[in-house]
Structure 1
Amino acid sequence: MSLIVWSHPYSAYGQKTAIALYELDLPFELKLVDGSPEVMEDFLAVSPFAKMPALIDTAADRTVLESSILIEYLDRLAGGGRLIPTDPEAALEVRFMDRILDIYVGGNMNRIIFNRLGRAGTPNETAMAQDAAELEKAWDLLEA
């Protein structure tokens, strides 16, 4: 099996995929997306939206994008049932948690950090407070 993963260590979604690869003990080659023109040209040919991670399974001649889909694909490659339960109800719960963590936890945390670091200009305290409130709702939901 020949898996090539395009990612960067700072990518939360790349880290999520790396955890799955290591947990499933699947060998892979990392292609570091470092922002250089040469690498970006190759990366954009694989991931037209420039989103990480991207996976190429050369054995299946298949490209897989989006970390959640990648993890399901990797789980199937490894025999299934280790990361995504085979029970449909349990699988729904895993997918639900995945979406909550990606959208409502990760999304809000990323906006707060981006805002706090000032990369959006002057930090927008109102937006950060709204994101923090949404983050609290997500934590409450996960802890329920």
Structure 2
Amino acid sequence: MQLYAHPFSSYCQKVLIALYENDTPFEFRMLAPDEKRNLVEFAKLSPMRRMPVLVDGERAVVESSVIVEYLDVHHPGRERFVPQEADAALEVRGMDRMFDNYVMTPMQRIVFDFIRAPEVRDPKGVEEAGAMLDRAYAWLDGAIATRTWAAGETFSLADCAAAPSLFYADWVHPIPEGLANLRAYRARLLARPSYARAVDDARPYREMFPPGAPDRD
């Protein structure tokens, strides 16, 4: 298999976690300006120009959640990312959507605003994104109060989504100290070998973070 991705991308990290969890063999196809061939191939594979893309034989799989589920079905390993039991699977998918839509999305809204020229920045949008993160943080702190991982006691797709979203969100809009459950969960994710490896992969690219990367993590 081949993964077209960049190690600093949050959605690419989501898939890398799943691949690393099960030691699934793959070839990393770097998406960067100096990798012209990869960029041309990627443009043909991803009509919306959104990474990552997983290529398995003649099949191209897009969207990070779908890629992780694809790995579960076609390249299963010791860790299963979506349970077979229907209600448990719904819980995992629900938490996956929670992290992607209400943590990752507002985090990216704040980050992308730093890329804009000062005269077209959107302070109201940034304020709204911060408010959404506050609501998400408060809800998540309660939801995981009695859980080791996002959807229970088993590492899952939801945790693959949570790790990069909370990692970057805390950089731009810190998790309040009073939310001890969520802060502890973020620390557990950072200590997970699969995500620690993804973080180390991305470490050389921290200067790319538009708001400026903090000297931690």
TM-score, length-normalised on structure 2? 0.59
Identity %: 39
Higher relative helix content: 2
Work out whether residues 11 and 64 of structure 2, in 8 Å CA contact, stay in contact via their aligned partners in 1.
yes
Show the 5 A alignment for 1:36-75. 36=34, 37-58=36-57, 61-75=58-72
Distance 2:92 2:125 in 1: 30
Work out whether residues 80 and 86 of structure 1, in 8 Å CA contact, stay in contact via their aligned partners in 2.
no
One-letter amino acid of the structure 1 residue matched with residue 42 of structure 2: F
Equivalent residue, structure 2, for 1:14: 12
Distance 1:130 1:124 in 2: 10
One-letter amino acid of the structure 2 residue matched with residue 121 of structure 1: A
Show the 5 A alignment for 1:23-102. 23-36=21-34, 37-58=36-57, 61-76=58-73, 77-78=75-76, 82-102=80-100
- Stretch deviating more after TM superposition (27-36 or 78-87): 78-87
Q: Secondary structure at the match of 2:131?
A: helix
Q: C-alpha displacement at 1:33, in angstroms?
A: 0.8
Consecutive unaligned residues in structure 2, runs of 5 or more: 143-217
**How many corresponding residue pairs?**
138
Q: C-alpha displacement at 1:35, in angstroms?
A: 3.1
RMSD over aligned CA atoms reads: 1.7
TM-score, length-normalised on structure 1? 0.87
Consecutive unaligned residues in structure 1, runs of 5 or more: none
Higher relative contact order (CA 8 A, sep 6+): 2
